[in-house]
Structure 1
């Protein structure tokens, strides 16, 4: 952070500062001085470039200084008298906050509580009420629920959505809440090093080893691995005879790396262990393990709460899928990437998202049936909460039958023309007997007539002849015009709702994306996280539609560079074209164009990952591995030829997944499918598909059932 801030002030090019910052090893609490000692590449950069040396030297001087003030996300200080009588206060973004950090508050003896508000609790509450389920009475040993964890189908499940976590779950294959508690505790920077051991021991109990038999009852449920802070405390108590209070004091000292306290306790721990016939060498080894681990250890009580919330999400997803997904979508209406990703998940599990409908949509997303979710009207720009409430109330008198009927009945409510235009443009009035172009053209005339009549009625100006004649609005006819083009309709939906509702411009490129090995936007957005498929500087290709372009001049040579937002079926990411690249491909960087970019992933702390683009191309249709002439079912794998180097690796994977599913090999050089012998048929599983795609690429593996 110090290097990036100093580089920005010095006016150095973004990519140069980014390259230097990434030479800092990604170690916990590393300093710039330690990084220089550890990284020969960083030392070389400083020696070869005086500007880089000046950058690093300046960053050293500001390193460790307060950069900005921030508010603890969930911390609340509770005092007997007004808080200002104990500590100085300030405001931060309109919130009253203490000027002291949490550790100082604790040292002063004040009570700080963390009240964590989880969006997921609202999702569970909404989905369970819509399903008529008492969520507190569901069984917690349902193996159908654990199966979606074991197969990595955890999209939308609290704490278990990331790619790395899904992979861990597929390896672990949890069958109990205890396994989920361990998984949510292990999948973090510190304990993550134990994941492989934990998974191995869970599948091979005979390989578990304990430094002393006294550790077995403490570590048995976690397969010989230290996972929780409670285990650290229990080891102190059981092996060395500590009291509850003293064990907790030591645990806190370990977690805060208070070396002087820990070294004093080492002697006491070793002496206590000696009374239980545990040698000093074993006692010291155990103490070292606890010291290394304690700063990362999780409270099991905390992890248990998280695991239970995740299990309840999974239960609702398994047994009340459409209602759960509707509640989930309603909870992320302000996050277009999340909405797009969950809509894709709905599609995967066979649920259709119906466009908004004035006669059936509610405020949020709602399940119309087990297979259909209605779009929520709160997601429509320009349509306010009050107007939506009026619409829902009025349709209790019967469905709206036409645009005229809707406008007449809503006149006098919190009605406005802009809101009606938004409803038309996103398709919410499509079922009222007219196309969108007809409704938008007739709307001004219709509203003028209704408003005039309403005004006359309000002020008693309706004449004798008006009462006997047909309403003026009945004389207004719809213009005879054709509907907007498909692309125009999609663009209107995107503008009004942030989504493509009646289709997606990227639908026709899906086969190309699968075949070409392009990544998806969610792969980019997860890049750099623990266990993620992509790391920083990974080389990738991404195909998407251009939604936004910002062109800026660089400070150094005033050349143009571009920041482009690319969207696919699952979300959107920013890609950056530096001047030399933008100059070459500027003709293709046009709003609405579908392009494929190739480049490297750039991961920065506290920012969403981006792609630094090297080249741009226009996507073209490519053959897929799916058989077209005969509707064969089975697992289809594509290779360049019979000499493809990947064949040996594939055979090893297939050998451990024997079953009854037909297996086909497609060879590009001969353009032929070959059915494997029946002895080589496989068992269908998510793990098998994941392993094969990791080796061959997504576009070379197709499961048709």
Structure 2
């Protein structure tokens, strides 16, 4: 079979093929994807579930000259990995077989190549991939002349005959041609037949069926690589040498962290961890990670690895696991069979350099993990429109249909679509979720003792980065230990903000979690711009809890997850004094700090251990709850759980409640070490915002990091009392600057201004005049218009912006005529000046925000007439119906339990932010307005919940735009502007709205 990992050709997953083959009565199934082993572990797992014997292989070349490689032994597997690696690196003739083929059987489609390979001593056979015809007669005859077997191969590319249309669609996408122009596709008979049809096809040549059975039996003896845990080596150290080096380094780090002599609690924990690490053979792993982290000044070690005291002493992580009661066995325990990993965050603009250094240092023993990128709804729709020759004008609206369906929410007007859109959507639905291409994992690196291509094929990404042919799950299944080196924009924010703060203003040691001003700000939810705690849901939880200390922040960042809404309400009730007790006395001491509620991943493990599970069994249960393992085994653990509770004397009703609380972790949750590591970064960001708001907000916007758009952050800066200074070619840097109570807009904010032009501006200033600027910077016409409208050139001449545009136009005219060898003297005429609203509109077009005022203030007349309230007054109207005019800055669509769509949105004005809820009926009525974003008048009920007020919207309408300020307002995109030279179209990955000019 060729699965969908034969990219843009195969149609079915290995799991689907296995289920279909087993139902038809097959006993063996071979996977021969084109040039890769992406599907190997899916094949092995699916064959195990269906009772099939897996055959591992691959295919190279093009029809009718393909080579099929079948693995018969571990040696053959290693040779196949080497071969595919060389093939992807561009061997002189990719169709030829380079290197050693021991342990492999080569099946060949071309008669001449069959003879060549047989002559060179390779074990070959003829690949008969169809019923008897002229080509197959010649191939079979040549095999008989050479004395090698001819093997019947089905060569399936799809499961059912009806899947051929999907195969042709994929080939059209791959060839970037219309559907009716596809020529490069396999015949319609390449589906998976029943065994009887397969046998009848090759009945004239019964020896080919016998050869196929014999080959299948031989190859089924090898069912996947079994290399155990493959750990990175530390220099040339033996295991005992690495253990001794790690002990010395950990003790030295412990004395630095805790002083000398070490507290007895620290000494005991350190000895315990070092013993477990040595027993499991992980000493070299810790030392390798330490060497990667050590040269970098600001990092954040996170994930379960932050529960390790050894990692803390090596300065891989930054949160004390003893102080915060972090559970080491969540990270490592002697019974753990899979490979744990340590996640390290670096500043986003330093991460690539760290990766290059690691890959250069370890050479062919290191590569990054791959990611298989599937078709998303918008991408699928765009591709279908292209292959059908349709314009893309309606893609935005149609993509919304697909996105709702992908989230299991069906648009109610599906049946009202006009042709050809029903057919287009039907084809696009078939593409959604299927593999599109291979990309690079955000930061996963694998380092091995021997060349990596002996474990897995290695290829290069489009940027030349070596990547293995497995994703993170495949790497874990193979026992390769992954190190995640990730980029974090907030570390760049903290770095840049601290660089602008005088050293004497930062206390030493810096413990922001102990600062009362920062705690008060966190308790009232004033965290916009602060890493990890600025989302609307998190800010509301902070307000409802009224807690700003470190311990509660750690708890909140973990408990705020899908499937935990009921638990969150119960937690808040208990937090505010509501009576409660543990579900059973056995849980006391395990869940005391979380008010008797499971908040962290390891709470599942700790409770299971308390009830009688081993650490290994408890960790396995935790992984199943997080959907990282086979869900079918959950029933086995459920029976084990209730058996344990019965032996502990827990009644069935209470046991059921404990089990349901565990099940709330299904799909998504955090471990406490991860939350604690991020909470420390959150506190650092919050301290900077509380004490040095100008450099902090400048760093947030400059690093393009956060949940909201630049418009929202500028509004927050204004609410903090900062004055926004326009960009100025004489004073602005490329990035934003924040000093005292001023925030200077960076040149990066000017839409359409290229980075090269920006560099010439910075290198050439000061400028004597507008013409001096034009002559030395040489901006193009679009750039000069953007600079003029943004106000960046106001300081060059004592004239208005129309005159500056006139001067630029005259200069460009003379430049086109070759008259700019010397500065040109031009004098503008007196021109009519735009109104203030026209000037603001032009400024908004190029900046995406206004420097002088919040854009919602342009609607003051409407607000007065409608008697709308301000955001800061919302709390005074709890329980009342009000009107509010705000600017939409973020939104999140969710699905209710009945599958209906609703949305949570954030609106702001010059005084604050209002969180709004659009329940399904209201959402359906006004979703067109919500797609546009921008300002809306909202009417609804103010609801108070644990002291935090929100607005449940019942009506919404677009206010009349003031004259001269027209334009459309659309949603903030998900990723940053792809053009690094331009301004940031978005900041971060949160869903929101970015006001865009018409």
Alignment TM-score > 0.5, same fold: yes
Q: Please tell me whether residue 86 in structure 1 is matched to residue 86 in structure 2.
A: no
Change (3 A) 1:18 1:55: farther
Paired residue for 1:327?
699
- In the TM superposition, what is the alpha-carbon distance from 1:112 to its structure 2 partner? 2.8
Q: Displacement of 1:68 after TM fit?
A: 3.4
Q: Secondary structure at the match of 1:140?
A: helix
**Which residue matches 1:426?**
790
Of the candidates 719, 741, 749, which is equivalent to residue 379 of structure 1?
Answer: 749
Q: 1:65 to 1:293 in 2, by over 3 A?
A: closer
Matches within 5 A, 1:74-153: 74-80=442-448, 81-88=450-457, 94=463, 97-132=467-502, 134=506, 137-153=510-526
Answer with 131-140 or 339-348: which moved more. Answer: 131-140
Using a 3 Å threshold, how does the CA distance of structure 1 residues 402 and 194 change in structure 2: closer, same or farther? Answer: same
- Counterpart Cα distance in 2 of 1:270 and 1:255: 19
Alpha-carbon distance between aligned partners in 1 of 2:734 and 2:401, rounded to the nearest angstrom: 47
Matches within 5 A, 1:436-451: 436-443=801-808
Task: Name the CA distance, whole Å, in 2 between partners of 1:233 and 1:215.
Answer: 12
| C-alpha distance after superposition, 1:559-617 (max 9, x if no partner) | xxxxxxxxxx99xxxxxxxxxxxxxxxxxxxxxxxxxx9952269xxxxx62699xxxx
Is 6-15 or 322-331 further displaced after alignment? 6-15
Name the CA distance, whole Å, in 1 between partners of 2:699 and 2:744. 11
Match of 2:675 in 1: 303
Q: Which runs of 5+ in 2 are unaligned?
A: 1-374, 869-882, 914-922, 958-998
The whole-number CA distance in structure 2 between the counterparts of 1:118 and 1:362 is 23
Greater Cα shift, 94-103 or 126-135:
94-103
Aligned to 2:716: 345
Aligned pairs for 1:670-681 within 5 A: none
The answer to whether the 8 A contact 1:336-1:499 is kept is no
TM normalised by structure 1 equals 0.61
Instruction: Note the alpha carbon deviations across 1:123-148, whole angstroms, 9 max, x for none.
Output: 11111221135587133132322322
Query: Is contact 1:3–1:21 with CA below 8 Å preserved after alignment?
Result: yes
1:403 to 762, 766, 770: 770
Paired position in structure 1 for 2:589: 217
Deviations 1:465-499 (A, max 9, x none): xxxxxxx97x7655444534434433443444344
Q: Distance in 1 between matches of 2:908 and 2:526?
A: 24
Change in Cα spacing, 1:66 to 1:694, as seen in structure 2 (3 Å) is closer
Structure 2 Cα separation of the partners of residues 420 and 324 of structure 1: 30
Q: Closer, same or farther in 2 for the Cα pair 1:153/1:285, shift >3 Å?
A: closer
CA-to-aligned-CA distance 1:427-465 (integer Å, 9 cap, x gap): 12213323222333345667969x999957xxxxxxxxx
CA–CA separation in structure 2 for the residues paired with 1:45 and 1:358:
52
Aligned match for 2:733, one of 337, 345, 362: 362
Deviations 1:139-165 (A, max 9, x none): 313232232233232222223333333
Aligned equivalents of 2:785, 2:433: Cα separation in 1? 53
1:177 and 1:307 in contact (8 A); partners too: yes
Aligned to 1:168: 541
* Residue pair 1:518, 1:540 contacting (<8 A) in 2 also: no
Deviation at 1:266, TM superposition (A): 4.5
Whether the 8 Å contact between 1:601 and 1:612 is mirrored in structure 2 is no
Shift of 1:420: 5.2
Compared CA separation, residues 58 and 390, structure 1 to 2 (3 A): closer
Change (3 A) 1:541 1:327: closer
**For 1:108 and 1:312, how far apart are their aligned partners in 2?**
39
Alignment of 1:391-540 (within 5 A): 391-395=761-765, 400=767, 402-403=769-770, 406-407=772-773, 415-416=778-779, 418=781, 422-432=786-796, 433-443=798-808, 455=821, 477=827, 479-501=829-851, 507-510=857-860, 512=862, 515=867, 517=883, 520-522=886-888, 525-529=890-894, 536=901
- Asked if the contact 1:540/1:600 (under 8 Å) is kept, the reply is no
After TM superposition, give the deviation of residue 351 of structure 1 in Å.
1.4
In structure 2, the partner of 1:600 is: 926
**Equivalent of 1:253 in 612, 615, 624:** 624
Q: 1:434 to 1:527 in 2, by over 3 A?
A: same
Q: Deviations over 1:372-392 (max 9, x none)?
A: 211101222454444544544
Aligned partner of residue 174 in structure 1, secondary structure: coil
Local SS of the residue matching 2:709 = helix
Residue by residue over 1:246-280, the C-alpha shift from the partner in whole angstroms, topping out at 9 and shown as x without a partner, is: 43233223323635544444555556556766567
The alpha-carbon distance between structure 1 residues 290 and 504, as it changes in their structure 2 partners (threshold 3 A), is: closer
- Give the drift of 1:78: 0.5
How many residue pairs match? The answer is 534
Question: CA, structure 1 residues 425+346, in 2 after alignment: closer, same or farther (shift >3 Å)?
Answer: same
Aligned to 1:137, what secondary structure does the other structure show?
coil
CA distance in 2, matches of 1:308, 1:170: 19
RMSD over aligned CA atoms reads 5.4
Whether contact under 8 Å (1:152, 1:169) holds in the other structure is yes
The equivalent residue for 1:187 is: 560
Give the gaps of 5 or more residues in structure 1.
28-34, 36-40, 457-471, 545-568, 571-596, 604-608, 625-637, 640-645, 657-685, 700-705
SS at match of 1:115: strand
The structure-2 alpha-carbon separation of the partners of 1:161 and 1:203, relative to structure 1 and needing over 3 Å to count, comes to same
CA contact (8 A) 2:732 2:747 kept: yes
- Secondary structure in structure 2 of the residue aligned to 1:360: coil
Residues 519, 540 of structure 1: 8 Å contact kept:
no
What CA deviation, in whole Å up to 9, does each residue of 1:499-529 have, x standing for no partner? 4445677532145257464664536x41425
1:204 and 2:573 are equivalent in the alignment: no
Cα distance in 2, alignment partners of residues 427 and 526 from structure 1: 31
| 420 and 698 in structure 1: CA distance in 2 versus 1, 3 angstrom threshold | closer
Aligned residues of 1:266 and 1:284 also touching (Cα < 8 A): no
CA pair 221-61 structure 1, distance change in 2 beyond 3 A: same
Distance 1:151-1:337 versus aligned 2 partners, 3 A rule: closer
Compared with structure 1, are the counterparts of its residues 116 and 522 closer, same or farther at alpha carbon in structure 2 (3 Å cutoff)?
farther
| Cα distance in 2 for residues equivalent to 1:13 and 1:441 | 39
The CA distance in 2 between the partners of 1:3 and 1:421, in whole Å, is: 37
Change (3 A) 1:383 1:537: closer
Alignment of 1:570-609 (within 5 A): 599-601=925-927
Is the alpha carbon distance of 1:161 and 1:539 closer, same or farther for their aligned partners in structure 2, counting shifts above 3 Å?
closer
Give the deviation of 1:239 after TM superposition: 3.1
Give distance in 2, aligned partners of 1:173 and 1:279: 36
